[in-house]
Amino acid sequence: MIKAFLGMGLLGSNFVKAMLKRGDTVQVWNRTVSKAKALEQFGAKAFDRVEDAVQGADMIHLTLKDDASVDEILSAIAKNLKPGVVIIDHTTTSVEGAKKRTASWKSKNVTYLHAPVFMGPQNALESTGVMLVSGDQQVIKKYEPMLAKMTGKLMNYGDEEGKAAGIKLSGNLFLLSLTAGLADALALAKVHGIAPSEVQQLFDNWNPGAMVPARLKRIVDAQYNDPSWELNMARKDAGLMLSAANETGVKLTIVPAIAAKMDEYIAKGHGNSDWVVIAKESL
């Protein structure tokens, strides 16, 4: 089987290196040609033109920027595709974009499967991490063994087209919020004269990430009674954070919005509930 891989960023290039280690034949392309050429030393065959990179390929993988770039590249290679080719798109895209591409290529008798990933470059090199799929279950069943080799875990979200794209975006939203939360934590630490290394020491010994599954379950199950942290008490702590920041002119990013949501639910009479009640309207 000949594979083509389009998009040689950190993720794509390491996916290719892992494929080559498994003995795959891989043709590569990137807008910046030098990034594709750099993989020739590992056994890949690089092409200057994307149309040439897919010539004769049985399977095409994409790790591009967005919906527009995916549509652009797929349009460019459309006339050079081998009959029966399979397109596996790992790009993080919109749900609607994934749905439209799946339907559009199906009408052309081409299999298109959106398979976004939660993986960093090192994961791609080591074939560890999480890949998401949804849609035609016969297609997924056929290519699952091959996709599983690329990642530590393949999560199948059923036959709804585009659901994998939605799950990916929800996960990325959490990552954005996590980084913004860390930024606020470091800003507040600075207010109190605490060094970043001391905050890092805290997280080296205390892993709040371990609380995520239980916290999410409490939200999903609407377990607002028998609180582990009352909303009133959480709001008190948020007030301490805001006061300390305001006194020194430090701007926190997400805590003001959280405090406003807390005030909203306290006004509704939820002050004695578990503070996860502020997520009630998200369900």
Per-residue pLDDT tens for 175-214? 999 999 999 999 999 999 999 999 999 999 999 999 999 9
Round to whole Å and give the CA distance between 213 and 31: 40
Measure the N-to-C terminal CA separation of the chain; round to a whole number of Å: 45
Domain ranges of the chain: 2-158, 167-282
158 pLDDT band, cuts 50/70/90, is very high
pLDDT of 283 reads: 87
What CATH fold (topology level) applies to the domain 167-282?
A: N-(1-d-carboxylethyl)-l-norvaline Dehydrogenase; domain 2 (1.10.1040)
Per-residue pLDDT tens for 100-144? 999 999 999 999 999 999 999 999 999 999 999 999 999 999 999
pLDDT of 152 reads: 86
pLDDT of 224 reads: 96
Per-residue pLDDT tens for 74-94? 999 999 999 999 999 999 999
Those residues whose C-beta lies under 8 Å from the C-beta of residue 170, and which sit 6 or more positions away, are none
Those residues whose C-beta lies under 8 Å from the C-beta of residue 185, and which sit 6 or more positions away, are 199
Round to whole Å and give the CA distance between 154 and 144: 8
For tokens 């794509």, name the residue. 12
The four Cα atoms 36, 96, 131, 73 give a dihedral, to 10 degrees, of -10
Domain 2-158 has CATH 3.40.50.300: no
pLDDT of 230 reads: 97
Beta strand ranges found along 125-269 (DSSP E): 130-133, 153-156
- Three-state DSSP state, 175: helix
| Mean pLDDT value across residues 165-172 | 98
205 by Cβ neighbours in 10 Å (0-12 / 13-18 / 19+) ranks as exposed
Per-residue pLDDT tens for 221-246? 999 999 999 999 999 999 999 999 99
